């Protein structure tokens, strides 16, 4: 299922690296939300993406946005990686593989013929406004590509 601008964002509740529940609905009416799905803890492109997000957090805060990063990795691996990189936003575990497919951000098989990993989040980015509507949607088929950060920020500027 492919989500598009104007669709109601699927609601979810996932655990963060401190085993606390974080829900998309926590931010409804309060903040715009940038959801970044990523394939794997510790991979080079994922680390580059999330470290870049960490380093640009002031820009997101100034645009009244909360960043949430999601992968199917377990929360224990995510915690080690989050602590190592000092991420300043929640990293959430979709270990049960329910949220990634709901957003159309899911590989049935990732890196076929090389790793053949089943059920991995696709790298993607969504901007959800304070009303719960998707204002930006980008699902990347090639995991080595990064989201269009400028387009994400432009979208936030328009809705802030």
Alpha carbons within 13 angstroms on the beta-carbon side of residue 1 total 10
- Tell me the whole-structure pTM to 2 decimals: 0.95
Low-confidence ranges of the chain (pLDDT < 50): none
Tokens 């805060």 found at = 61
State the pLDDT at residue 137. 98
Nearest one of 28, 44, 38 to 93, comparing CA atoms: 38
State the pLDDT at residue 116. 81
State the pLDDT at residue 1. 59
State the pLDDT at residue 113. 80
Instruction: Measure Cα distances from 15 to 11, 76, 94, 102 in Å.
Output: 14, 11, 8, 17
Angle at CA 11, nearest 5°, toward 136 and 107? 65
State the pLDDT at residue 57. 97
Residue pair 16/76 in contact by the 8 Å Cβ criterion? no
Residue pair 125/34 in contact by the 8 Å Cβ criterion? yes
Q: Give me the domains of the chain, ranges plus CATH numbers.
A: 30-159 (3.40.30.10)
Tokens 């709901």 found at = 102
Catalytic machinery residues: 46
């Amino acid at each position: 299922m492919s989500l598009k601008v104007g669709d109601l964002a699927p609601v979810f509740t996932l655990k963060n690296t401190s085993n606390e529940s974080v829900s998309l609905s926590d931010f409804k009416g309060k903040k715009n939300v940038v959801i970044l799905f990523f394939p794997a803890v510790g991979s080079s492109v994922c680390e580059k993406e999330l470290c870049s997000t960490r380093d640009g957090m002031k820009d997101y805060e100034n645009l009244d946005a909360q960043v949430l990063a999601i992968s199917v990795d377990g929360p224990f691996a995510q915690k080690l990686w989050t602590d190592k990189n000092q991420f300043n936003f929640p990293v959430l575990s979709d270990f049960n593989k329910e949220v990634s497919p709901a957003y159309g951000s899911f590989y049935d098989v990732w890196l076929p013929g090389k790793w053949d990993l089943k059920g991995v989040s696709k790298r993607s980015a969504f901007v959800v406004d304070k009303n719960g509507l998707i204002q930006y949607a980008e699902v990347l088929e090639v995991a080595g590509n990064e989201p269009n950060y400028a387009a994400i920020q432009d979208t936030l500027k328009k809705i802030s």
